[in-house]
Amino acid sequence: MEVRWVGVEPQRLGPPYSTTGLIFSVLFGLWSAQALEIRVGKIPFLEAVNGSTVKLPCSYYSCIGIENLYFNWQFNNNGTMEKVCDSTIRADGVVPDVKIYRERVEFVGNPKDPEDNLSILLRNITFEDGGNYTCFGRNPKEKFKNHSAIFHLIVVDELKVVDNTVTIMIASAVGGAIALLMGFMLLKNFTLFVLAKLEEKNKECLVTSSGIDNTENGLSGTKADSKPTPKKK
């Protein structure tokens, strides 16, 4: 039996990667590159003395800006995440109204400083305060894209004194070697200079001595040249 298409032309399947799919991939990649990023500094840990006050750094970054950014700090207490503080920032540069859930905690983030806008302060820390602190952010302007970063706090009785003896010895040895090399180069240059002067003086002496010998031996062109023989009349 023959099958005919009436008024409808069969659709052909496009290639695996159509133009629409390629454009979507590019736009998705650009959107991902603009996603919210939470940072806790270049060094994500700190060793502090019991009873001191420490600052836990954190900041957010977004290429397209924020709108009602929600953030919080959480503390990992033996596997249980306890909220330290949280708030919502309406826009860049706006001071948030932060709610604190833990004692001896103060929000010190500066909304005008892009490298320090979500930081908190822990006062009179104890050994129980040591552990992992998570800084979390969620930006509705980026379709509720969220990100987080962990900062590790270590509480100790006293800070260890770093023994720099080996470092000082190495630096002294290297400095001594450099000074010795410079001294050797100066002595070498001075010796070459003296030798060059002595060689120049010896050449002058040889030239002078050669002139004197020629005079004494009565060579042509000297004062000892014999007088010409008178002609006979």
The answer as to whether 16 is a domain residue is no
The type of residue at 53 is T
Scanning 19-115, the segments in alpha helix (DSSP H) are 19-33
Write the CATH number for 142. Answer: 2.60.40.10
Instruction: Return the closest-CA partner of residue 58 out of 129, 149, 147.
Output: 149
pLDDT for 136-176, tens place per residue?
A: 999 999 999 999 999 999 999 998 776 667 777 787 788 88
pLDDT for 19-34, tens place per residue?
A: 555 444 434 444 444 5
Say if residue 64 is in the same domain as residue 84. Answer: yes
Which residue in this structure is represented by tokens 């836990």?
Answer: 56
Q: Give me the phi and psi of 23, to 5 degrees please.
A: -65, -40
pLDDT at 68 over 90: yes
Say if residue 152 is in the same domain as residue 171. Answer: no
pLDDT for 82-107, tens place per residue?
A: 999 999 999 999 999 999 999 999 99
Higher pLDDT, 71 or 27: 71
The answer as to whether 231 is a domain residue is no
The answer as to whether 45 is a domain residue is yes
Q: Note the Cα 70 to chain centre separation in Å.
A: 31
The answer as to whether 143 is a domain residue is yes
Range of the domain at 189: 162-209
Say if residue 128 is in the same domain as residue 190. Answer: no
The β-bridge partners of 89 are 69
The number of domains in the chain is 2
